Structure 1
Amino acid sequence: MASSEKDNSTLKQTAGAVATAAAIGQMAYAQGAGKIKVGLLGCGGRGNGAMRQCLEADPGIEIIALADLFESKVRSTRDRIMRDEKYTGRIKIDDDHLYWGYDCHEKLAKCEADLLLMATAPAFRPRQMMAAIKAGKHVFTEKPIATDVAGCKEFMAASKLAKDKGLAIVCGTQRRHEFSRIELMKRIHDGAIGELVGGQCYWYGGGIWFRGASEGMSELDWQCENWYHFTWLSGDQICEQHIHNIDVLNWCFDGPPAKFMAVGGRQWRDHNEGQVRTAKEVCRKYTGSEENWEKYNGDIWDHVYAEFEYPNGARCLSFSGHSPGTGRNGEKIVGTKGTSDCNHNITGQNAWTYQGENVDGMLREHIDLINSIRSGNVLNEGQRIAESTLTAIGAYIAACTGQVITWDWLMNESKHSLVPSQADIMAGKPLYYPVPTGRDPLV
């Protein structure tokens, strides 16, 4: 070997050793009984809730950084949490650890936090997760983790990278952390209700907020403030809320469906007087007239009715959406020997009712996350939540196109991508998609 080749080889070996040492260091990051420094990304209601649940979960938690699109939310969140005497001495947020803007996730990832809590609009979570994992952070993320197929695949890649680096990912599907459901699922997987042959899941409820444009707010800012009403930001109700129930069905079958068929539509949103009035006001603010006000009314549907066919041939029905009438939220699974509510009870040959301790799953998920970090045996729910998110998106694509969709097609052929590039986001460009027709092109 020539001298220069030996030198290059030595450099490569040294670089490899340094990289390995860094990886080992990250795997041990924040283990033990010491303080865990936490940063919050997304200072809305869910973000504030997650921060408090994280503080309640472990006395060693310290909040050191906040980030949000809007400066006002960052500052008001710090003000509120600083006033809460329960957390005296545990809130240590300096001015230079307050971040805002469309690149605030990049700034937050560079701070010295061990753990990041993510509760922004779902569209941004794949790139936010990737930035956090590359920076060596453990992560709690709200659900869903994407709004399109491309985002789910990016999140899967981030989850794999987290596994390689020994970093924890726990997501806000709290049912997976409730003791009653854990015990029940053990029995289902052990055959207590026999072979699974079908089921149902529902999240059908009332309407949601729709906000006007505040002074000084750009059009993209306004869209992000009303993220639920735009599919590229929320994934629609089937993805944003119904994912809880879909995730439970996937838990029953220990994986996602093989095939999707669905229908859906939009009815009452275009006749909701308060929402229509606000949409017209926003249209006048940004365009000077009410012409084409409809695009400011959002593009999400009212309802999606889907059928999931799992690999064993079992078919499960899903119903999600919003309505001014009464609704339903829950799951049911049917087997050859009995049925279950996927919560506390089994009926049939092996009838059973959970008698143990009931816990708050939204608190328990933080306890489980922090315990895993301290032990070094980290939880990584990234692939699973990406699969459940992709299940919801697959059903939505089936409904919007009128086509039968397969899991294999989603993973290997779909080019479904809704979210603008980071450059376009930084440029402040609003984005409006038409309301789906039910016969949209398959992408």
Structure 2
Amino acid sequence: MQNDRKLPEPSNIASQARRRTFLKASGSALVGATLAQTKSSAQTPHVSVDDDIRIGLIGCGGRGTGATLNALKADPGIRLVAMADAFEDRLQGCLQTLQRQKDFRSRIDVSEEMQFTGLDAYQKVLATDIDVVLLATPPGFRPLHLSAAIDAGKHVFAEKPAAVDPAGIRSVLASAAKAKEKGLFIVAGLHARYEPETIEMTRRVQDGAIGEILNGRMSRYGGGTWVKPRKPGQTDVEYQLSNWHYHTWLSGDFLIEQFVHEIDRMAWVMGGYPVSCLATGGRQTRTEEMYGHTYDHFAALYKFANGSELYTTSRQQKGCANVFDMRLAGTKGTCIGAGKTRYEIAGPTAWQSGKGNGKKQVGHQTEHDAFYRELRSGGYLNNGDYFAKSTLMAIMARESAYTGQEITWQQALDAKQDLMPDNIAWDTPVPPWKVAIPGTTKFA
């Protein structure tokens, strides 16, 4: 597949030798991750049970900090040895938070020489002898960093979403294929696929517990996110990176950055991806310039080749009712979900999930548990395909809402749209602050 985005080849990365020879140990795959797994035809570089696993973190915000803690908890042989962020204060804040965790303090082994800052800091981490890299920067950088990581021979945990535009999606698909050839892991932060109760619900529905799916609905309504005031002397790139949620070239809009979790879950349980999407959305409460050019609400209707439909609604508006639920209607019954882990199937084979409150983030941990268990045991995980396609499904809805036009799957996949500037630097001109206007805005 042709990749439109120009991905610079970081110097001294692809040629880096592995720190040691990885040994392949026998073992069975994690049962809970079966549906999230893709087999590789290549020899997978694994570690023996006695090896340390050296990890590097790229992106030291809240999710990067959380992913590092998940990794440390998943395997007692993991050590954090390298860190990178665009901003020094963010890196130091993350490091201090990690060092305060007494259970893991001895495995936080990041010398000053292994702390890298700036927009090229990711290259410096990938040039070290780490085994695994955690990618948790703003999503606009994900395709570039993923491509560089696979070229450098690193196993990858990549936070969601996969990209912010179709050019990025094609890049991620190419990286996933290359990772498979090289036997490198890609574990995606779409953690519903590693939630035990979500796995069980999906298995039952796909086994016919509610018959043939006729339609589905997914809603997630929540409040807003933080805003950081502009500091004197900040360039546009510095300011927008500090407020990346509100700039489509960095976040993809909240539909992609946050709601992609729910879109992925529904695509998974419905068994595939849609042929088209017609959506609407806008800004009602976040209208000031400090909120960049993103929307605060969306509603989308997806159509599938078999005639089934999926309706999704999402919003980020303070002071409004919070809603988080799903519903599937089939020819023999229904499946209703509340929050992330509570499900009830009504029909000939009725079932209820456990008594979790729907808020516990089990998947954040189990995805890392699966990652390192498979890395040591001889299995293989590559989530790159659904990582990219579920993100593309979200992009379809954003672009339909932005333009007011129905967007097909193939149209979205083939689109030339590339929101990320080439060779970005602190003084790079950024996309102008401009809110999409349906009927006027075009999808390239």
Q: TM-score normalised to the size of structure 2?
A: 0.85
1:179–1:359: 8 Å Cα contact kept in structure 2? no
Secondary structure at the counterpart of residue 390 of structure 2: helix
2:44–2:184: 8 Å Cα contact kept in structure 1? no
1:51 is displaced (CA, Å) by 0.6
Aligned counterpart, 1:31: 47
> Within 1, Cα distance between the matches of 2:93 and 2:251?
24
- Answering whether residue 297 of structure 2 is matched by residue 303 of structure 1, we say yes
State the AA in 1 paired with 2:416. K
Aligned counterpart, 2:78: 61
1:354 is displaced (CA, Å) by 2.8
Secondary structure at the counterpart of residue 85 of structure 1: coil
Cα 1:306–1:36 change in 2 (3 A) is same
- Answering whether residue 222 of structure 2 is matched by residue 230 of structure 1, we say no
Aligned counterpart, 2:322: 327
Aligned counterpart, 1:399: 401
> Within 2, Cα distance between the matches of 1:354 and 1:267?
37
State the AA in 2 paired with 1:363. Q
> Within 1, Cα distance between the matches of 2:376 and 2:355?
26
Deviations 1:392-421 (A, max 9, x none): 001111111111111122223x11221111
> Within 1, Cα distance between the matches of 2:212 and 2:326?
17
Cα 1:109–1:332 change in 2 (3 A) is same
State the AA in 2 paired with 1:350. T
1:148-159 residue pairs with structure 2 within 5 A? 148-159=165-176
**Matching residue within 200, 210, 214 for 2:231:** 214
1:197 is displaced (CA, Å) by 0.6
Moved more, 71-80 or 175-184: 71-80
Q: TM-score normalised to the size of structure 1?
A: 0.85
Aligned counterpart, 2:378: 376
1:24 is displaced (CA, Å) by 10
Aligned counterpart, 2:420: 419
Aligned counterpart, 2:148: 131
> Within 2, Cα distance between the matches of 1:88 and 1:204?
37
Aligned counterpart, 1:437: 437
Deviations 1:371-406 (A, max 9, x none): 111123221001101100000001111111111111
Secondary structure at the counterpart of residue 344 of structure 1: strand
If each structure's helix is expressed as a fraction of its own residues, which one has the higher value? 1
Cα 1:24–1:247 change in 2 (3 A) is same
Cα 1:114–1:353 change in 2 (3 A) is same
1:158 is displaced (CA, Å) by 0.6
Question: In the comparison of the two structures, how many residue pairs are matched?
Answer: 398
1:55 is displaced (CA, Å) by 0.5
1:426 is displaced (CA, Å) by 5.6
> Within 1, Cα distance between the matches of 2:424 and 2:201?
46
Moved more, 319-328 or 82-91: 82-91
Aligned counterpart, 1:49: 66
Secondary structure at the counterpart of residue 286 of structure 2: helix
Cα 1:374–1:24 change in 2 (3 A) is closer
> Within 2, Cα distance between the matches of 1:174 and 1:401?
30
State the AA in 1 paired with 2:184. L
Deviations 1:287-334 (A, max 9, x none): xxxxxxx4x541011211100112211111010121221131232211
State the AA in 1 paired with 2:322. G
> Within 1, Cα distance between the matches of 2:324 and 2:361?
19
Cα 1:219–1:426 change in 2 (3 A) is closer
1:135 is displaced (CA, Å) by 0.4
Secondary structure at the counterpart of residue 378 of structure 1: coil
Aligned counterpart, 1:347: 346
1:355 is displaced (CA, Å) by 4.6
State the AA in 2 paired with 1:299. H
> Within 2, Cα distance between the matches of 1:304 and 1:47?
27
State the AA in 1 paired with 2:62. G
Cα 1:63–1:306 change in 2 (3 A) is same
Deviations 1:316-374 (A, max 9, x none): 10101212211312322111111112543201222111359998111111001111111
Deviations 1:219-238 (A, max 9, x none): 21110010000111111111
- From the CA coordinates, give the structure whose radius of gyration is larger: 1
> Within 2, Cα distance between the matches of 1:310 and 1:224?
36
Q: Percent identity, aligned pairs only?
A: 37
State the AA in 2 paired with 1:322. Q
**Matching residue within 365, 375, 383 for 1:363:** 365
1:23 is displaced (CA, Å) by 11
1:116–1:132: 8 Å Cα contact kept in structure 2? yes
